[in-house]
């Protein structure tokens, strides 16, 4: 590993942080250390980083805002790449918007609305980045990324940059072709429609008020933990199983939204994993339905 780190330093790829705890980089505020956390500051540095890691066959994992990730207590053996400020770009071209992967989805929804572009109002409550949203086809309020995305620029694990059209990404519910690749979304192009700024602002305000009323935004969480089963809602099933407020260690099923597990203070990853397993067992026992996690668990078990 030291040979790889020396090569990365020689290439001046940005920050290199050894044995860095990952909890502060996730919205759950949970997780052990990575062997190394790398924070490239330009796209060129990111490309060089991935090429070097590929050449040396070093395992790596990408991290945006960490909003849909549970890092285990033992942390990650290998390199974690955190997308830096260089990928927080935005450029408007008539009804299209080209946006860097590290740009926040909530900020994107606000900015496009101010431009009088409609189509991303649903994203006003998605706490992650554009890259993460494309990766998992994030959605809310009856819409998702696949409905407004035109294409995505993707950095493959070999260090090659390619552009994939929306039809090449094989989007399904909370899933894309990127799940089967080790790759990093670097930029996305969304195709929106011109709309009335006041109507867009009103819709955004309504959505924001709904989030404030129904989601435990004052606590550290990862958003929705489980996918909605076809024809049903995970939150409804969890609530009807009597699990609102149920806690294991510092992890607790939110009393506001049953599909949120909150970190009530000092939750460990194991607390969350045990609580997730308990929820799945209770829902299956009562309703015969298997809840599938929406969050990604990363790290050494």
Tokens of 46: 């990111």
147 an active-site residue? no
Tell me which residue has tokens 């080790």.
Answer: 182
Evaluate whether 178 touches 90 at the Cβ level (below 8 Å). Answer: no
Catalytic residue among 146, 174, 176, 254: 174
Beta strands in the chain (DSSP E): 15-21, 33-39, 60-63, 69-71, 76-82, 90-93, 96-100, 117-118, 139-140, 143-144, 149-156, 161-165, 183-191, 193-194, 220-224, 247-248, 251-253, 260-263, 296-298
Tokens of 5: 């780190």
224 an active-site residue? yes
Tell me which residue has tokens 């990127």.
Answer: 178
Q: Where are the alpha helices (DSSP H) in 71-196?
A: 105-114, 130-136
Catalytic residue among 67, 176, 221, 224: 224
According to DSSP, the residues that pair with 117 across neighbouring strands are 194
CA atoms within 13 A on the CB side of 256: 16
- Beta strands 161-165; 149-156: pairing state: antiparallel
Catalytic residue among 121, 153, 187, 294: 294
146 an active-site residue? no
Give the single-character DSSP code of 217.
T
SS3 content of the chain, % helix, strand, coil (to 5): 35, 30, 35
Minimal CA–CA distance to 185: which of 2, 43, 73, 287?
A: 43
Residues with catalytic function: 174, 224, 294
């Amino acid at each position: 590993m030291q040979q790889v780190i020396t090569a990365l330093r020689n290439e001046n790829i940005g920050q290199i942080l050894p044995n860095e705890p990952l909890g502060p980089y996730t919205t759950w505020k949970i997780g052990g250390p990575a062997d190394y956390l790398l924070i490239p500051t330009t796209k060129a540095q990111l490309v060089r980083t991935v090429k070097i890691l590929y050449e040396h066959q070093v395992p790596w994992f990408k991290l945006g805002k960490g909003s849909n990730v549970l890092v285990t207590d033992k942390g990650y053996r290998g390199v974690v790449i955190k997308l830096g400020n260089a990928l927080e770009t935005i450029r408007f071209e008539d009804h299209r918007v080209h946006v860097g992967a590290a740009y926040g989805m909530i900020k994107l929804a606000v900015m496009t609305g101010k431009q009088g572009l409609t189509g991303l109002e649903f994203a006003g409550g998605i706490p992650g980045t554009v890259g993460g949203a494309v990766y998992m086809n994030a959605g809310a309020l009856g819409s998702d990324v696949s409905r407004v995305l035109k294409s995505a620029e993707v950095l493959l694990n070999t260090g090659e940059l390619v552009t994939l059209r929306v039809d090449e990404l094989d989007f399904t519910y909370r899933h894309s072709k990127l799940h089967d690749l080790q790759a990093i979304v670097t930029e996305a192009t969304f195709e929106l429609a011109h709309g009335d700024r006041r109507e867009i602002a009103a819709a955004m305000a309504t959505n924001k008020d709904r989030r404030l009323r129904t989601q435990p935004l004052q606590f550290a969480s990862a958003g929705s933990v489980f996918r909605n089963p076809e024809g049903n809602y995970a939150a409804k099933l969890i609530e009807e199983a009597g699990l609102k407020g149920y806690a294991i260690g510092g992890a607790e099923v939110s009393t506001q939204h049953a599909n949120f597990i909150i970190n009530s203070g000092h939750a460990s990853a194991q607390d969350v994993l045990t609580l997730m397993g308990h929820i799945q067992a209770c829902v299956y026992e009562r309703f015969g339905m298997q809840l599938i996690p929406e969050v990604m668990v990363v790290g050494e078990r």
